[in-house]
Structure 1
Amino acid sequence: MSHNSLKILFLTTLMSGMLITISSNSWLSAWMGLEINLLSFIPLMSNNNNIFTTEAALKYFLIQALASSTLLFIIISKSLIESMFTVINSSFTSIMISTPLLMKSGAAPLHWWFPSVMEGLSWNNCFILMTIQKIAPLMLISYTINFNVFSTLIILMSIMIGAIGGYNQTSIRKILTYSSINHMGWMLTAMLMGENMWILYFMIYSLLTFTVISIILPFQISFVNHTYLINNENKIMKFLLFSSLLSLGGLPPFLGFLPKWMIIQFMVNNWSMMIISIMVVFSLITLYYYLRISYSAFIILNSEPSWSFKNNENKKTMLISLTFTSISMLGLIISTAFINIF
């Protein structure tokens, strides 16, 4: 009971820290919200029974503390030298402020801590790290980001490293980590379109990540080979898992393709053909390693049980997975039909 009440307390302070950052009207209060958010997540990560969790919590704390102290130093220096109202106007200052925030959110090339921290966490904490913990830094980045050489390099490096890094991975956590880095590049591009676009992208990404983790969590899958022989007597869960993964990769019939489609259209209209071509090519690589896993699990390494076993699957898990996967599969079709009708 005590453990659950502490978890609720830290989750509440974690969310409140995020909300303080989002709603703040000064950089100092935004920094304070980031610190509350960080110090609430560290106890949630820690687990005395697992040495990998303790190591991941220590790594995460050191990296986040470095980024936070750098951000605070830049804020104080800027306020001492000149008025803080020049932050948005100055290109150099926006780069300085964006750099520690990009490190906090795990964008390339400041991503080196992200895969090793993810590898030591439970699936619930992995979801928090990939989604909730990115909201506050991304919101602050959206205030300062401009279409310049720096932002273009960060976008392209995030997409390239996210695609290539996950290519030979066997750990599901690391595959989702590099997929998250790839999506960071797309989200930063969406920020150039406007606030509503990146928020829409982030919501769809969070929904798809939640769907994948809600299917993985009951079976405690950690590696690719665990998915091959999962529940062969009931192939629905296997189908739901790989449908969600392909949607996360951005396969056109699924919901995951919708925000990418909108970004591609925007970039083409703004004559950024070279950048969007590179982004699409490297996103196809991420889609390839999802397809490779799906192909192997469904066709090559599929087996039928000789005896008829009773299916003891949790009905609640099945219902949640089926609901969110249905949204993922039919979301794009419903959205386009709604736009065409109305």
Structure 2
Amino acid sequence: MPLPRSTPPPRTASAGRGPAPRRIVMLAFEGARLLDVTGPLEVFSAAARLGGRYEIHICSPDGRSVTTASGTRLAVDAAVPDTAGPVDTVLVPGAEELAEGRFPPGLLDSVRALAGRSRRVASVCAGAFALAGAGLLDGRRATTHWRHTATLAARHPALTVDPDALYVRDGDLFTSAGVSAGIDLALALVEADEGPDLAREVARDLVVFMQRPGGQSQFSVPARTPRPRHDALRALLDAIAADPAADHSNTALAARAGLSPRHLTRLFREHLGTTPAGYVEAVRLEAAQTFLANGETVTVTARRTGVGSDESLRRLFLRRLGVTPSAYRSRFHTTAR
């Protein structure tokens, strides 16, 4: 169906030459979160402008423009039934209403219709509830915004929810965590389609990071740790996060806080539910994951995180993640450099 006259033609960088562009369809609907829509589309639009083979369409269940959660009115190109032809990627944004079990009219039918003729389907944030409601996630792994992971798992027991991942791929289905994770997912899709060089150029153009693999936590260890009321304890947590490789032995931490090692251990258990050594290890593991994803060697990573030797890092990764540092680096090192 031709686009309305007021709507500019889909953006593509390869019309008239080479293979046909990949058709990216964003399924907009009333109450969708604006950044869930615009974040991924900015990635694909930048990729098209920089030479990628993409053509972007925005559709809604009935073809009418939609009002996003922020109140911004969003024009669309067509109704889902009028979006004829093959679709490469379907993107489904999130909305708080979806997590509450309330779906705009026609949304689930639209998801099913588009998914039935697309190569892959991806959701942003609470958009995973639409995929699950349409029956696409049964027997699959998925994630969503950390605030809604328990609800998603309870409401759809046939799927396995990864509560911590930035994004999850299960075959041709992709789900991502809240808001900015949709940009991470879109960059990963561009990299899979066009290679790391273009994905890196897109990230540079948008001034966003490329260092976040899907398996990275939605929150860093410090960010997901309850902020303790104890002043000395807060100062220690800040020091550990600022320099994971420093001497953070129980004795050194206790001396820094002016406490006995026994008292310090008691405070960590009372406020954080772990020991000083356990907390330091978690921060160092996260730092090591970041270094390896950025392309650092195992030896350099072990030294820069304070873990020590290659063997110590290997034991830590096997015990906490079930993979070796080398295997982790091979899997997640993409376009950091």
TM > 0.5 between the two? no
Per the normalisation by structure 2, the TM-score is 0.29
Structure with the higher strand share, 1 or 2 = 2
| Structure whose CA Rg is larger | 2
Q: Which has the higher contact order (CA 8 A, sep 6+)?
A: 1
User: Which has more helix, going by share of residues?
Assistant: 1
State the TM-score, normalizing by the size of structure 1.
0.28
